[in-house]
Amino acid sequence: MDETDPQGLSVKEIEKVQLSRFRALVERVWNSSPFYRRRMKEARLSPDELRSPSDLHKLPFTTKEELRRDGYPYGGEFLAVPFEELVGWHMTSGTTGVPSVGAYTAKDVETWRDLVARCLRTAGVTNNDVIANVYGYGLFTGGIGLHMEGQRIGAKVIPWGAGRTEALIKAMVDFKATVITGTPSYELVIAERVRKEGLKTGPETSYPRG
């Protein structure tokens, strides 16, 4: 059984992998994450009492306030690795308060790239496609994430980001974009503008799909 290729596993094999990884994850956060160890102790839980995903209901919810309070600025008490192993962060905009931080190790980035590349392949994207990536770049995870994963499968990426809709549509026509990736709300704005102007932009695939 090759756990690195879940698309080739049966349902039973996937469930076996999930159970093994769940138990390893519980042990890891207990031993390495101050936040989750404290929360489990407060709930009077030990790793031995969390043996399968069906036991998750025993855990208290992690709230947005806790993510802000205990996870800022570097990942805080949520971190399960030493600071030296981090390679970067993404975070929310923080418009309603302190941003929520997502810290990444090199392994996290590699896993993230593999997962999104798998999603793109499942959507039918290949190295013959031109992707108009209209996710925001910068601290938001979407722009850089889809950019790297698109290149990983050999697609050609237009690193546009959000905004400048008229110029974007022209670039999509000129570069013969076949795929558009972005937030559904902005993709709808683009689609409405294209419809009003009677243009044919070319994209046959939208990610994520509604």
- 82-141 pLDDT per residue, tens: 999 999 998 886 667 788 888 999 999 998 888 888 889 988 999 999 999 999 888 888
Question: What pLDDT shows up at residue 85?
Answer: 95
pLDDT averaged over the chain?
A: 86
**Are 171 and 147 a contacting pair, CB within 8 Å?**
no
Question: What pLDDT shows up at residue 210?
Answer: 41
Domains of the chain, first to last: 1-61 (no CATH), 109-207 (3.40.50.2300)
Q: Could you tell me the two tokens for 111?
A: 């896993």
Q: How far apart are CA 87 and CA 104, in angstroms?
A: 6
Which regions in the chain score pLDDT beneath 50?
Answer: 210
Distances (CA, A) of 99 to 9, 42, 74, 90, 138: 38, 26, 11, 10, 14
Q: Which of 207, 37, 1 is nearest to 118 (CA)?
A: 207
Residue 10: which H helix or E strand, with range? none
Question: What pLDDT shows up at residue 72?
Answer: 87
Strands 179-181 and 86-91: unpaired
Q: How far apart are CA 145 and CA 102, in angstroms?
A: 13
